[in-house]
Structure 1
Amino acid sequence: MTPRVAVAGVHGHGASHVRNVVRLAAEGKAQLVAVADPRPAEDLPAGVEVFGGLDELLASTAVDAVIISTPIQTHVALAEAAMRAGTDVLLEKPPTASLAEFEKLSAVVAETGRACQVGFQAQASKATLTLASMVADGRLGEIRGISAVGKWVRKARYFQRARWAGRRTLDGVAVVDGAVTNPLAHATAAALLLDGSTGVDDVRSVETELFRANPIESDDTSTVRIVTSRGTTILVAVTLCASEHLEPRVIVHGSAGRAELRYTTDTLEIIDGSGTTETTYDRAGLLENLLDHRADPGVPLYVPLAATGGFTQVVDAVRLAEAPAEIPGELIRWEGEGLDRRPIVLDVEKWVDRAADDLALFSELGAPWTHPPEHQNR
């Protein structure tokens, strides 16, 4: 029988999930039977039921899998409701806003026996998995470290799209929506996967340096240094205040070669003694994988909840860190008006690249917005 799928949260990124289920329906692999969203849904196929909330949907409609693409602070309650109703879940990243929430949701997975796949789609890319295999096999030699790099542009409309956008907390509840933990979360999660350090006990320490140029609560320009239980240093250097929007990268620094994963295009570049090679790979679908796993539990999930424990340690460190320090106005150039207005942190690309190359925090490099240095160890 064709799996019955519902989507909770159909606006923003949720709209892409709806389109994906419609595509799978045309291929006979799934049925889109219902959606849940407090705001009216548009352009849905005929026959799809519409509900204001997931509880109402689950009480009224039989479904096999639910995609949850809702605000971060709602993830745990909705995923728990779905699993307790007997459905499997594809949960958007970050799965939870704290380690305590992660542990709670993990307990629900164990209790119900349901599958919970997390939406780190780059981890279903053959490019990512090929590089992870190369690291594990020692093909790049001794690993000096791994860098996760993001130089993105986000305009005012991005932070005004929802009440929770750019917030650390909302109505007393943790949200932790910052550059490190949400828009560029894939880079950190991929770096942990490449090191084989995805579990909650695979992260030894996390240092955070969080800054902001936008008038928001959360970070938009940050470095984070992770040391894994294997002893690997992972340096995350990201900004949403770049002069231009560039493809994010995860870089493996090895004694026998250097590898660069560009996960948004599934491209892997290897530089070693034999020269430079660049290959673009295919990517599997997380929903299809979840449905295959449902049909045959012998098919492993690409991103089970347990494999996001290391990433959640980073989220928790950001949650517990000091509020992001404001970057001084003289170091920012503003462009655009209204919803198109955006800050550009002067020379931020240079400092991001230096952090990635040296596996160093902004303050250790002397970035001008870090005087005095604002970082916290955990």
Structure 2
Amino acid sequence: MSEVGFAVVGVRNFASSYLNNIEELEQEGKIKLTAVVVNDQVNNADKVRELRHKGIAIFNSYESLLKEAKPCVDVIGLPVSIPTHSEMAIKAMRAGYNVLLEKPPAPTVQEVDAMIKTEKETGRFCSIGFQYIHSHTIRKIKQFILEGKLGELKEIATKGLWPRTKSYYDRNDWAGKSVAMGQLVLDGPMHNAFAHYLNNMIFIAGSDIHSSATVKKVRAELYKAHTYIEADDNSCLELETTTGTKIYFYVTHVPEQKQDPIMEIVGSKGKITWQMNEKTKIELNDGQVIEFDNEGLDPKKEVFRIAADKQLGLIEHLYCTPTNTRNFVVAINAAYDSAKKIRTIPVAKVKEFTNEAGEYQTIMPGIDKLIGQAFKERKLLSDLDLDWTAKTEWVNVENYSGFNPFN
């Protein structure tokens, strides 16, 4: 069995985690880092020297990598800015490479469709880095449901509360933007930081182990509390699949206290509770309780292993693809269609200050309790009759083919 040669575009921000994961996985003898794109080799001189010392090819542009790296690269890793996802993935596949693309797949469903079309035309693959679709627990939960052990799948709900300081939004030129570089970004909590958890729910509701659920309709609300960003930072969504499962999602970047995502899955025979640390508890109506965790399997590394296994022909199906994440993008696009706009939360309800760590932070007093109530009651925030919210309409997406918020 030969090693799969991976290239990574970039060395900073999330690209550094790609480099670290590949380095750790090289010990398993299946994956090898063979090339890296470093556009700014002056400010990254130390990293360039380190990589070259290890025998890794350094390219000063993505174009030069595509033209020259065929002898040593099988899969190109793209931990790149959201607006460039589809364009860069398509270029790689057309140049004859397979792709590992960071989540989310793309801001619009038409971009995802273009990637799917390119896969078919080129015979190349594009694996999407939604790590929890590669996790032991999410796949075990889905198999449990597919075997009918939870009965009819009624509803799935997730909430997550993660603070984001100014440094988070200052880290690049697209963070906190709805549009950047002349392209859509939609950098809200549903589409970026918490994207995994919405995708988990849509995947779990799918009809087989490879598919996500087809979305029938969506209703969503998008709010903004940070005074210096344009994207939403406080959002909620409900959707219904074509098989009748209800999905609820509540996320914020302005909480008083950090709370990691927790998911509840309700079926006619019981309930499953899943936490971000992958501790899972199944409580069946007959009194049976089943508990399990990830058994030491790091889903972040599994993302790379599965792409390598596909490259080597060891598996037939990738776990996460443009095809089975398309419904996630439909849900995001429809959320914007439903909300119609990002509504600014009144300044009087927001507190901005420098915290003990010296970070400029924004919180919304009371939002933790409100999200907890909405999650428990399976309501959107406007259903709680809050004076700063606005009710939105359902959007039918059964034949959804394109998103254009500028119409």
Query: What TM bracket, shorter-length normalisation?
Result: over 0.9
Match of 1:354 in 2: 373
Which segment is superposed worse, 53-62 or 120-129?
A: 53-62
Counterpart secondary structure, 1:243: coil
Match of 1:3 in 2: 4
Q: Which amino acid aligns with 2:333?
A: D
Q: Is the contact between residue 200 and residue 312 of structure 1 (CA under 8 Å) also seen in structure 2?
A: no
Match of 1:313 in 2: 330
Alignment equivalent of 1:221, drawn from 227, 234, 239: 234
Which segment is superposed worse, 136-145 or 73-82?
A: 136-145
Counterpart secondary structure, 2:30: coil
Equivalent-residue separation in structure 1 for 2:318 and 2:342 (angstroms): 35
Match of 2:264 in 1: 251
Equivalent-residue separation in structure 2 for 1:38 and 1:28 (angstroms): 29
Equivalent-residue separation in structure 1 for 2:169 and 2:153 (angstroms): 37
Counterpart secondary structure, 1:164: coil
Equivalent-residue separation in structure 2 for 1:35 and 1:319 (angstroms): 36
Equivalent-residue separation in structure 1 for 2:40 and 2:358 (angstroms): 21
Equivalent-residue separation in structure 1 for 2:91 and 2:5 (angstroms): 17
Counterpart secondary structure, 2:230: coil
Equivalent-residue separation in structure 2 for 1:146 and 1:24 (angstroms): 34
Change beyond 3 A, Cα 1:331–1:315: same
Q: Is the contact between residue 176 and residue 318 of structure 1 (CA under 8 Å) also seen in structure 2?
A: no
Match of 1:60 in 2: 68
Structure 1: which 4+ aligned runs deviate by more than 4 Å?
A: 197-201
Cα displacement string for residues 212-241 of structure 1 (whole angstroms, at most 9, x for unaligned residues): 111211111111111111111101110011
Q: TM-score, normalised by structure 1?
A: 0.93
Cα displacement string for residues 4-57 of structure 1 (whole angstroms, at most 9, x for unaligned residues): 110013221111111111122233222211112434445443222222322111
Counterpart secondary structure, 2:260: coil
Q: Which amino acid aligns with 1:15?
A: S
Match of 1:234 in 2: 247
Which segment is superposed worse, 361-370 or 182-191?
A: 361-370
1:375 correspondence with 2:401: no
Match of 2:404 in 1: none
Cα displacement string for residues 302-348 of structure 1 (whole angstroms, at most 9, x for unaligned residues): 11221101101022224544331111122222332697111111221
Equivalent-residue separation in structure 2 for 1:51 and 1:323 (angstroms): 41
Q: Is the contact between residue 90 and residue 119 of structure 1 (CA under 8 Å) also seen in structure 2?
A: yes
Match of 1:22 in 2: 23
Q: Is the contact between residue 351 and residue 367 of structure 1 (CA under 8 Å) also seen in structure 2?
A: no
Root-mean-square deviation (Å): 2.1
Q: Is the contact between residue 235 and residue 355 of structure 1 (CA under 8 Å) also seen in structure 2?
A: no
Match of 1:301 in 2: 318
Counterpart secondary structure, 2:172: coil
Equivalent-residue separation in structure 2 for 1:80 and 1:243 (angstroms): 41
Q: Which amino acid aligns with 2:29?
A: G
Alignment equivalent of 1:344, drawn from 340, 363, 376: 363
1:134 correspondence with 2:147: no
Equivalent-residue separation in structure 2 for 1:108 and 1:271 (angstroms): 43
Shift of 1:140: 2.7
Match of 2:348 in 1: 330
1:288 correspondence with 2:305: yes
Match of 2:214 in 1: 202
1:163 correspondence with 2:173: yes
Q: Which amino acid aligns with 2:62?
A: L
Cα displacement string for residues 116-170 of structure 1 (whole angstroms, at most 9, x for unaligned residues): 1101110111111121122233323343311121111111111111111011111
Counterpart secondary structure, 1:369: coil
Shift of 1:366: 2.0
Shift of 1:363: 0.3
Cα displacement string for residues 336-376 of structure 1 (whole angstroms, at most 9, x for unaligned residues): 26971111112212222222222211101223431xx1535
Counterpart secondary structure, 2:258: coil
Q: Is the contact between residue 191 and residue 234 of structure 1 (CA under 8 Å) also seen in structure 2?
A: yes
Alignment equivalent of 2:122, drawn from 83, 98, 112: 112
* Superposition pairs of residues 37-48 of structure 1, within 5 angstroms: 37-40=38-41, 41=44, 42-43=46-47, 44-45=50-51, 46-48=54-56
Change beyond 3 A, Cα 1:138–1:355: farther
Which segment is superposed worse, 103-112 or 137-146?
A: 137-146
Change beyond 3 A, Cα 1:112–1:162: same
Counterpart secondary structure, 1:114: coil
Equivalent-residue separation in structure 1 for 2:158 and 2:235 (angstroms): 11
Equivalent-residue separation in structure 2 for 1:24 and 1:118 (angstroms): 18
Q: TM-score, normalised by structure 2?
A: 0.86
Match of 1:211 in 2: 223
Equivalent-residue separation in structure 2 for 1:71 and 1:232 (angstroms): 33
Shift of 1:201: 7.6
Q: Which runs of 5+ in 1 are unaligned?
A: none
Counterpart secondary structure, 2:99: strand
Q: How many residues align?
A: 375
Equivalent-residue separation in structure 2 for 1:200 and 1:5 (angstroms): 28
